[in-house]
Amino acid sequence: MTKLLVVATGNPGKLREMQAYLANSGWELTLKPEELEIEETGDTFAANACLKASQVAQVTGNWAIADDSGLQVDALNGAPGVYSARYGQTDSDRIARLLQELGSEVNRQAQFVCAIAIASPNGAIVLQSEGICHGEILHAPRGDGGFGYDPIFYVPDKQLTFAQMTPDLKKSISHRGKALTALLPQMATLNQ
């Protein structure tokens, strides 16, 4: 039986990405109502994902899934972290600010983190997962694919930035891919 799963995002790109992972999972994904805005007041990715999933489930009366993600830079004590989306007005502003704050720092270690939460129709959180992808911050952007901080996030194993990877390669190693893949077996049991 197909069950409806409301994705707690207004971003059709995120919906498409989740649909790609959850194809044939028995869940039918749909966007949250546009007028429903949820403030991300948590101080961890997991707290924000739970907050969004729980509120969307309660308001819509359906199962809901939410993710919260961002970039943590070691030499900046984990910044921009949960503020990744609010670090500047545009992707290039955010990249410029990060590169400026990091300056000539030698330690360029960083990780993308993605937390995902699923809530049942009464708002209770029933599943959670987290995915991490380690990399390094370059001194200048490289590549023009992807979005956000992708052009400055270099994965040494692949010798490519996220912005230079094919969507399939990024999907297979990214924080979001890992978090979603970890949830799939348990999601199948929820849907029985």
Closest distance of CB 147 from ligand IMP, Å: 6
Q: Which is nearer to ligand IMP, 30 or 191 (CB)?
A: 30
Selection from 41, 32, 26 nearest residue 61 by Cα: 32
Contact predicate 153/94, CB 8 Å = no
Closest distance of CB 181 from ligand IMP, Å: 15
Query: The tokens of 41 are what?
Result: 């007041």
Print burial letters for 18-47: b (CB count within 10 Å at least 16), e (below 16). Answer: beebbeebebebeebeeeeebebebeebbb
Q: Of how many residues is the chain composed? A: 192
Q: Which of these is catalytic: 68, 74, 144, 168?
A: 68
Q: Which is nearer to ligand IMP, 22 or 152 (CB)?
A: 152
Q: Which is nearer to ligand IMP, 61 or 167 (CB)?
A: 167
Query: The tokens of 184 are what?
Result: 């799939």
Q: Tell me, yes or no, if 144 is annotated catalytic.
A: no
Q: Is the link from the previous residue into 80 a cis peptide, with omega within 30 of 0?
A: yes
Closest distance of CB 157 from ligand IMP, Å: 16
- Which position's Cβ is nearest ligand IMP? 148
Residues that bind ligand IMP (CB under 6 A): 67-71, 84-85, 94, 112, 146-150, 162, 174
Closest distance of CB 16 from ligand IMP, Å: 14
Q: Which is nearer to ligand IMP, 26 or 173 (CB)?
A: 173
Contact predicate 49/117, CB 8 Å = yes
Active site residues: 68
